[in-house]
Structure 1
Amino acid sequence: MAPTIPIKTPRIIKKLFPRYIWDLYTVSDNKIYLTFDDGPVPHITEFVLDQLDQYNAKATFFCIGDNIHKYPEIFNQILSSGHTVGNHTMNHLKAWKNTNDVYIQNVIDCENIIKEHSKVKSTQRLFRPPYGQISRSKFKTLKNMGYKIVLWDVLSMDWEKTILPEKCLQNVIKSSKKGSIVVFHDSIKASKNLIQTLPLVLEHLTKKGFVFDSIRF
């Protein structure tokens, strides 16, 4: 049975935690912001990039530092294709199971790897905490380091093995609206749902008049 995680982030949660970035709604733009966590991963990330390119869509990839270290060529394919990248820690750490010092150092290690392998330079710092876990003290430290903490408006639930691709598709197309930040995963675990769902999401939402942009500040 699938965990009871809300597909659509409730308004009350957004109001209780307004310091986090949940969506990017503007009156004038008809944009949706696709994000991909846990890459880069061979074949899977490249599949995502190919699908995005077919729709001239831009996205944001929250990368794990260890994967950047293993696959720097794929990481730079993301950047050279005009997408943005964010920090997802070096080793996909859970904030609630690690001390501030350990967690922040893991973020710094990922940041250093991003800088080391980035042929396309960027001054912005985006961070998404693995599992959506963050504490007040860790948030404060990251904010002081210049990070924007990006969470989400819609979860595809692509990583959940008990969910069929059809359900994953409905999660996205029924819950996404102007300004939504949508979470997918370019990971092995999520690949079955991702590969079947992403092309249909891009096709459906494009027909609805949406455009896909990367997160930039």
Structure 2
Amino acid sequence: MPALVRRLFPGCLWQMPASHPPTLYLTFDDGPIPEETPFVLDTLARFNAQATFFCVGDNVRRHPSVARQIVEQGHRLANHTFYHISGWSHSNAHYLQDVAECQALLDELQPQARPLLRPPYGRITLPLARALEASHQVVMWDVLTYDYDRGFAAEKCLRHAIQNTRSGSITVFHDSLKASRNMRYVLPRYLAHFAEQGYQFATL
């Protein structure tokens, strides 16, 4: 993400501090769905890795058992709005209501003192970001795998992700049908690469 955008949104979380042992923060957007989320959970378990799942509320409503699996395996649920809406094309009132509807479902499964929100597509306005500060920590990223982009070869996604990752990175994957081909290739190899280098994988 360009440095200018980060400066415009200083209240957003873009990456975590570097640490020792080095730690990465894997995040998964757009689930949970039964076709892809269980694969993610099984892969994370193989590497004793924890992650944060930015859930679409409508998917939580339709697949509550999958959302419960995320919690039961020690991961963190977070908000990705109820209907995966863009902050650029909806009024603040509409957007905040959509966020609240998603949060109500998440709180039934995993109550949190200050919940996390990732805006779909990373699209958010300054007024909206300020309005959300009282209720949520807005989380962006510093590594985007592009697993959702079917024009990206899986090997390119992996190479790009590895080259841009450092201790404290917040990395975006997607547990979605659109991302399935690349995600299923990249995720286990990404985890293996950094596990071999002594990295840990934690929730935000």
What TM-score do the two structures reach when normalised by structure 2? Answer: 0.96
The structural deviation recorded for 1:15 is 3.3
1:76-113 Cα shifts (integer Å, max 9, x gaps): 10011111111000000011110111111000110111
- The CA distance in 1 between the partners of 2:123 and 2:200, in whole Å, is 29
Structure 2 residue matching 1:97: 3-state secondary structure: coil
Counterpart of 1:25 (choices 5, 17, 20) is 17
- Percentage of identical aligned residues: 41
1:157-183 Cα shifts (integer Å, max 9, x gaps): 000010011011011111100000000
Code of the aligned partner of 2:40? V
The structural deviation recorded for 1:14 is 2.6
Runs of 5+ consecutive residues of structure 2 not aligned to the other structure: none
Asked if residue 175 in structure 1 is aligned to residue 164 in structure 2, the reply is yes
Tell me which residue corresponds to 1:140. Answer: 130
Runs of 5+ consecutive residues of structure 1 not aligned to the other structure: 1-8
Code of the aligned partner of 2:115? R
Structure 1 residue matching 2:88: 3-state secondary structure: helix
Asked if residue 95 in structure 1 is aligned to residue 93 in structure 2, the reply is no
Tell me which residue corresponds to 1:161. Answer: 150
The structural deviation recorded for 1:136 is 1.4
Mapping of 1:36-115 within 5 angstroms? 36-115=28-107
Code of the aligned partner of 1:128? R
The structural deviation recorded for 1:19 is 1.5
Asked if residue 190 in structure 1 is aligned to residue 182 in structure 2, the reply is no
Code of the aligned partner of 1:85? L
Asked if residue 207 in structure 1 is aligned to residue 199 in structure 2, the reply is no
- The CA distance in 2 between the partners of 1:105 and 1:121, in whole Å, is 18
Moved over 6 A (4+): none
Structure 2 residue matching 1:33: 3-state secondary structure: strand
What TM-score do the two structures reach when normalised by structure 1? Answer: 0.90
- The CA distance in 1 between the partners of 2:38 and 2:114, in whole Å, is 24
Q: Give the aligned length.
A: 204
Structure 1 residue matching 2:162: 3-state secondary structure: helix
The structural deviation recorded for 1:12 is 4.1
